[in-house]
């Protein structure tokens, strides 16, 4: 299963690099989200956007207004940013989404960097 996740993650990163090369820096997050959604589908991956994240506390659903930017192959959570400064809370947010959705792997991608490799972090639930 981990090899499948690594393969999918590599495809997502390749698609994100293509989006970054094509669009450049300085656009809004939703522009990058929609472009990456399109690029991933062009590459044959199943992708959902704005997937609800139900928040359950001691047996009751508190809300489902939180959303994951992209869910790829029903396995990889992709959270996108277009910010000047990455904050620790963004990293923690991805880990929380992984836990709440019971998913193991995630990516945090910030498109507002000169080289996209500087803006990619892999996340694993439970580590």
Q: Is the pLDDT of residue 1 over 60?
A: no
CB 46 within 8 A of CB 73: yes
- Quick one: CA torsion of 54, 55, 60, 63, rounded to 10 degrees? -70
Instruction: Identify the pLDDT of residue 108.
Output: 98
Q: Could you read off the pLDDT of 39-70 as tens digits, one per residue?
A: 999 999 999 999 999 898 999 989 878 899 99
Query: DSSP 3-state helix, strand, coil percentages of the chain (rounded to 5)?
Result: 45, 30, 25
Contact at 8 Å (CB) between 72 and 12? Answer: yes
pLDDT of residue 76: 98
């Amino acid at each position: 299963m981990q090899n499948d996740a690594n393969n999918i993650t590599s495809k997502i990163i390749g698609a994100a690099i293509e989006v970054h090369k094509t669009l450049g820096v300085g656009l809004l997050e939703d522009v990058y989200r929609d472009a990456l959604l399109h690029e991933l589908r062009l590459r044959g991956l199943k992708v959902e956007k704005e997937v609800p994240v139900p928040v359950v506390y001691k047996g009751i659903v508190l809300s489902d207004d939180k959303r994951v930017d992209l869910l790829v192959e029903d396995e990889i959570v992709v959270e996108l940013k277009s910010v000047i400064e990455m904050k620790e809370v963004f990293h923690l947010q991805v880990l929380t989404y992984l836990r709440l959705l019971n998913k193991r792997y995630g990516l945090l991608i910030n498109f507002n960097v000169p080289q996209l490799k500087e803006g990619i972090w892999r996340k694993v639930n439970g580590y």
